[in-house]
Structure 1
Amino acid sequence: MKQPPLSPYIVYMLEWFEEEDDYILILEYPCPCKSLRRFLIDKRPRLNESLARGLMIQAVLGAKHCLDREVFHCSIKEDNMLVNTTTMELKLIDFGGSCLVNPSGFENGHLGGCHPPEYPSEYHAGPTTVWSLGAVLYSMVTGNKPFKTAFDRMIANVTIDHTLSRECQDLINRCLTRDPAERATLEEISQHVWFIQGQMSGVTQESEDGPNQSQ
């Protein structure tokens, strides 16, 4: 967490101490800030796509930085992201359950957030991270969870809100694909047309007044 190059999308570790049975981490605390979950609750019913886009690309780049360092966050969800309510900067937090990437995959083990269909059988860091990010994006732009039941999650039966732009719908579908081999990669997500739209318009975040309508 302190080894350069640092990522602006991951909480910065100021210092750490090793005790006999534990580690103590001293981390930055952006101010003013809220967890993404609290931010979404306060912005009900949902975020417009421009604001969601600006937050989401930061979450994607933070997650990609972790995997590029061979670190599997394991618990990407709204509670584990902080939003600076002045600058709209987002940072991943809570690496307590993280582990090093295992190329052979994982079985069971700690996994927070929205579990992918392949869990708890063999699952891999990359596709699992993409699935978790897709669930977060869905919550941002709809104000709801992507799956009503555990069975819906197992078969990846996600209800798409057709008032969203086609590009946003496509990104959600690419992330929440049942087969992990068919899911988008983090590299593909970061280059998705939905994010490119924001770069082309020169807008990463818009007025927070009300949800975005179809574009």
Structure 2
Amino acid sequence: MLDWFVEDGTHILIMEYPHPCETLANFLESHKGRLKETEARHLLRQAVNAAKHSIDHNLTHGDLHRENVLINTRTMELKLIDFGFSSLIPDTPCEGVAEMVLSMGSLVFMMTTGYEAFNRRDQDLLHNPRIKALGLSKGKSSRSSEHEQKMPYHPWSGAVSWAH
């Protein structure tokens, strides 16, 4: 974010648009629909850091999906864009954080499998033979109410720096 201001009760965010870049959706298309786990892990770490930075400033994105993630194709630097549905987080940020954790899970699922995480045709994608055939690692999930603290330390993602 380059700058922000309030006009007529509306928060206006001035964001950079790196060049050369493309949305995660287009980036995935140009990589045959999915990424290697190491590439997905690299992007996920950046997405988690960006989300954590927002949370630390009491802001939740509100619309995190593949069209609202930009990737600089030269540096592989990730940026979150379009904060049009963002909102300030109340004193207890559980709801906004849970939404962002779910969005991160959906993004990493898509990056590593090439499939939408929630698809009406495949109600149970994790048991779908097409997904099993991809040979993804068997990391264990962490089910905790402290998602924002545990997600970056999951064995799959490696340690993520929460520093600003």
TM-score range, shorter chain: 0.7 to 0.9
Instruction: State the aligned residue count.
Output: 155
The offset of 1:69, in angstroms, is 1.4
Q: Identity of aligned pairs, percent?
A: 35
* CA deviation string 1:34-90 (max 9, x = no partner): 011111111113100000000001001111111111111111111111101011110
| Paired letter, 1:42 | S
**Aligned match of 2:111:** 140
Where in structure 1 do 4 or more consecutive aligned residues deviate above 3 Å?
A: 15-26
Distance in 2 between residues matched to 1:36 and 1:132, nearest whole Å: 13
What pairs up with 1:148-187 in 2 under 5 angstroms? 148-149=119-120, 152=123, 157-159=124-126, 161-162=131-132, 163-167=135-139, 170-171=140-141, 174=142, 182=144, 185-187=147-149
In structure 2, relative to structure 1, the CA distance for the partners of 1:191 and 1:127 (3 Å cut) is: same
1:68 aligns with 2:56: yes
Contact 1:147/1:159 (CA < 8 Å) preserved in 2?
no
The reply to whether residue 55 of structure 1 matches residue 55 of structure 2 is no
1:34 aligns with 2:6: no
- For the aligned residues, what is the CA RMSD? 2.9
Deviation of 1:97 after TM superposition, in Å, equals 1.3
CA distance in structure 1 between the partners assigned to 2:21 and 2:154 by the alignment? 28
Secondary structure of residue in 2 paired with 1:195: coil
* One-letter code aligned to 1:88: M
User: What residue number does 1:190 align with?
Assistant: 152
Conserved in 2, the CA contact under 8 Å of 1:103 and 1:124?
Answer: no
Alignment-derived partner of residue 86 in structure 1: 74
Q: CA deviation at 1:195?
A: 2.0
Query: Could you state the TM-score of these two structures normalised by the residue count of structure 2?
Result: 0.80
Q: 1:131-162: per-residue Cα shift (whole Å, max 9, x none)?
A: 1110111000000101221994xxxx442533
The structure that has the greater radius of gyration is 1
TM value normalised by structure 1: 0.62
